[in-house]
């Protein structure tokens, strides 16, 4: 992969700051004007995947909690930029929200020069929804029984040990860059058009290893078709308690995970933001929702305040922005 240095206008403007204005109401009393309108949850990934499943699960529950119809719309493409741009161009009436990972929001301005939106200006994050872990996986028939086996083989025969990644210009991409550097291996990073294509080639033994969200690998890991060697979270993934973290395996700096957040237009009315955030927190507390999200591979969260979202987002950006800038990667 060819990297070149990209310009930055300064982290103070580019790092996404979540809004502190989304207070929670003590009761759920939808405003009459909102109760009559259809709510839309925009998901930046295709139908049929884990993110689509999560969005549809929430839409089903929020219909009753908000007292109005809530539908899901898939707006995939351009590393979540298509969906984010759609939100920016939607009315700030509290009827449209974006359910998306946090990392493309703060990474985008660091690597793309043609962004049509400015995250800290155009969007506000209301609450987190789920945690997303990243992992490295191989075919179950691979001779690499653990991460050490893969590293040893990659040092000896790097051209044969390419690592597929499902996206570029994302936290996953730069985690893979850091893994290659810290493990001192010469593996090539091979970008794919999504996790589905990556998994297909892993199952077909067409690539040695793959890195993606654990939600991509979970079903095949449980079925004994793929083997997840390590995850990158601060702790083991809720759905993969048998898989060690990179930190446990001698890589204490390879700690990275993302979260799905709920975003609205920045000038959305406070009461509308409060209704969405409280309804999501109520949905996340439902036992059947928690069971289904865990089974899909997400780390369970209970929702958070806007201040907590801001603290998390800023910490993630502070850790990874220097890595992204040092890589010299430019997305366009």
Place of tokens 């028939």: 141
Pairwise CA distance, residues 107 & 205, whole Å:
32
Pairwise CA distance, residues 210 & 11, whole Å:
31
Superfamily for the 133-231 domain: Periplasmic binding protein-like II (3.40.190.10)
Question: How much is the pLDDT for 36?
Answer: 65
For 121-179, write each residue's pLDDT tens digit.
Answer: 999 999 999 999 999 999 999 999 999 999 999 999 999 999 999 988 889 999 999 99
**Distance, C-alpha 126 to centroid of its chain:** 16
DSSP 196: H
Query: Does residue 5 carry a pLDDT above 50?
Result: no
Closest CA to 173 of 102, 109, 103, 230: 103
Pairwise CA distance, residues 90 & 67, whole Å:
21
Structure token digits, residue 255: 């700690």
* Averaged pLDDT, 105-123: 88
Query: Does residue 295 carry a pLDDT above 50?
Result: yes
Phi, psi of 243 (to 5 degrees): -100, 125
Pairwise CA distance, residues 7 & 2, whole Å:
16
Query: Does residue 97 carry a pLDDT above 90?
Result: yes
Using a pLDDT cut of 70, give the percent of the chain over it: 89
Question: How much is the pLDDT for 10?
Answer: 40
Question: How much is the pLDDT for 34?
Answer: 53
* 3-state SS class at 288: helix
Closest CA to 280 of 129, 97, 64, 132: 129
* 3-state SS class at 51: helix
Pairwise CA distance, residues 296 & 291, whole Å:
9
Question: How much is the pLDDT for 179?
Answer: 97
* Whether the Cβ atoms of residue 106 and residue 321 lie closer than 8 Å to each other: yes
Structure token digits, residue 18: 């979540």
DSSP 98: E
Superfamily for the 11-132+258-327 domain: Bordetella uptake gene, domain 1 (3.40.190.150)
* Angle, in degrees to the nearest 10, between helices 171-183 and 103-111: 80
For 35-71, write each residue's pLDDT tens digit.
Answer: 568 999 999 988 988 899 999 999 999 999 999 999 9
Q: Report CA-CA distances (Å) from 119 to 38, 68, 109, 173, 242.
A: 25, 28, 8, 20, 37
Query: Does residue 201 carry a pLDDT above 70?
Result: yes
Structure token digits, residue 332: 């366009």
List of residues 6+ apart from 315 with CB closer than 8 A: none
pLDDT confidence of 290, banded at 50, 70, 90? very high
Q: Taking the model in full, what pTM does it have?
A: 0.83
Structure token digits, residue 19: 């809004």
Pairwise CA distance, residues 34 & 52, whole Å:
24
Residue ranges per structural domain of the chain: 11-132+258-327, 133-231
Give me the chain's average pLDDT, please. 87
* Whether the Cβ atoms of residue 247 and residue 254 lie closer than 8 Å to each other: yes
* Whether the Cβ atoms of residue 248 and residue 135 lie closer than 8 Å to each other: no
Pairwise CA distance, residues 105 & 85, whole Å:
11
DSSP H stretches of helix in the chain: 11-14, 32-35, 50-66, 81-88, 103-111, 119-122, 147-156, 171-183, 195-203, 214-222, 270-284, 287-296, 306-327
């Amino acid at each position: 992969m060819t990297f070149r240095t990209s310009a930055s206008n300064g982290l103070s403007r580019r790092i996404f700051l979540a809004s502190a204005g989304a207070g929670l109401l003590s009761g759920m009393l939808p405003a009459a004007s909102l109760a009559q309108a259809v709510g839309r949850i925009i998901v930046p990934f295709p139908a049929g995947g884990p993110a689509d499943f999560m969005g549809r699960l929430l839409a089903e529950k929020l219909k009753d909690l908000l007292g109005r119809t809530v539908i899901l719309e898939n707006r995939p493409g351009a590393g979540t930029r298509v969906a984010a741009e759609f939100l920016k161009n939607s009315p700030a009436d509290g009827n449209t929200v974006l359910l998306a990972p946090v990392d493309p929001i703060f990474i985008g301005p660091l690597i793309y020069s043609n962004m049509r939106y400015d995250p800290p200006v155009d969007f506000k994050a209301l609450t987190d929804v789920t945690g997303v872990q990243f992992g490295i996986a191989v075919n179950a028939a691979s001779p690499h029984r653990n991460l050490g086996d893969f590293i040893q083989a990659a040092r000896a025969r790097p051209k044969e040990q390419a690592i597929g990644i499902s996206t570029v210009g994302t936290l996953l991409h730069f985690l893979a860059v850091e893994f290659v550097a810290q493990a001192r291996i010469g593996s090539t990073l091979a970008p794919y058009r999504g996790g589905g294509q990556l998994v297909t080639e892993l199952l077909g033994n067409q690539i040695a290893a793959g890195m993606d969200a654990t939600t991509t690998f979970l079903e095949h890991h449980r079925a004994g078709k793929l083997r997840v060697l390590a995850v990158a979270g601060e702790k083991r993934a809720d759905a993969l308690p048998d898989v060690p973290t990179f930190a446990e395996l001698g890589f204490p700096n390879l700690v990275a995970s993302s979260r799905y957040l709920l975003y609205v237009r920045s000038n959305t009315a406070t009461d509308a933001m409060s209704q969405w955030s409280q309804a999501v927190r109520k949905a996340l507390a439902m036992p059947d929702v928690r069971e289904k999200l865990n089974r899909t591979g997400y780390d369970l969260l209970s929702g958070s305040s806007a201040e907590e979202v801001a603290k998390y987002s800023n910490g993630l950006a502070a850790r990874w922005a220097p890595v992204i800038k040092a890589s010299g990667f430019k997305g366009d």
